[in-house]
C-alpha cells in the first residue's frame, strides 16, 4: 500500500477543488415558459453559499441579455429594478421567486416551452474577490401554476 500514499496529496487537492466548486449550491432552478411573441421571461431558484459571495452577472445562449432583477413596491405600484449584484450571505438561502429577486432573460431567440431546458451561467464573486462561473440547467415550467403559494419576504437582503 505504499503506492497509495503517493496519491494522497493529489486526492486532497481534488477534494479542496470539489469543495470550492460546491461553495454555492442551486436548488430547484426553473424558467417560466413563454408564448409566441414574448421576448422575455424569468428564471427562478434558491441559492446558498457556504461563504459570503455575490451573484454579479448572468448569461444564457437563449437570450440576448440576462440581468439580475428585483421587484419593488413604489407608490403602490410593483416595479422591476435591475441589480448590479445579489448578495449571498454565508449559510443563508436566497430565493429567486416570481415577484421578488429573479434572473431576467431578455431578447429571447425563440419561445420557451414546458419541458425545454435552459442553460444559465451565474457569475459569482467570492469574498476574496475571485470570480467564477456557475453553470446550471433550468427546466422550463408551464405558464400556469408557477407562482409561489405564499408571499416571500426578502426585506433582509440589501439591493445593490
Q: What is the pTM of this model?
A: 0.76
Q: pLDDT tens digits, residue range 67-126?
A: 999 998 889 998 999 999 999 999 999 999 999 999 999 999 999 999 999 999 999 999
CA 80 to the chain's CA centroid? 17
Q: pLDDT tens digits, residue range 6-29?
A: 554 544 444 443 444 459 999 999
Q: pLDDT tens digits, residue range 103-116?
A: 999 999 999 999 99
The pLDDT assigned to 22 comes to 57
| d(C-alpha 80, C-alpha 84), whole Å | 13
| d(C-alpha 150, C-alpha 88), whole Å | 22
Amino acid at each position: 500500500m505504499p503506492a497509495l500514499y503517493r496519491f494522497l496529496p493529489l486526492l486532497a487537492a481534488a477534494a479542496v477543488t470539489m469543495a470550492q466548486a460546491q461553495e454555492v449550491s442551486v436548488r430547484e432552478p426553473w424558467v417560466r415558459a413563454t408564448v409566441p411573441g414574448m421576448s422575455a421571461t424569468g428564471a427562478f431558484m434558491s441559492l446558498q453559499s457556504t461563504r459570503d459571495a455575490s451573484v454579479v452577472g448572468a448569461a444564457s445562449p437563449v437570450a440576448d441579455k440576462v440581468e439580475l432583477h428585483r421587484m419593488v413596491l413604489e407608490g403602490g405600484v410593483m416595479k422591476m429594478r435591475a441589480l448590479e449584484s445579489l448578495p449571498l450571505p454565508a449559510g443563508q438561502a436566497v430565493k429567486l421567486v416570481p415577484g421578488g429577486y429573479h434572473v431576467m432573460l431578455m431578447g429571447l431567440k425563440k419561445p420557451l416551452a414546458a419541458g425545454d431546458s435552459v442553460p444559465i451561467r451565474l457569475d459569482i464573486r467570492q469574498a476574496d474577490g475571485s470570480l467564477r462561473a456557475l453553470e446550471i440547467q433550468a427546466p422550463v415550467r408551464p405558464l400556469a401554476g408557477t407562482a409561489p403559494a405564499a408571499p416571500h419576504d426578502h426585506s433582509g437582503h440589501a439591493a445593490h
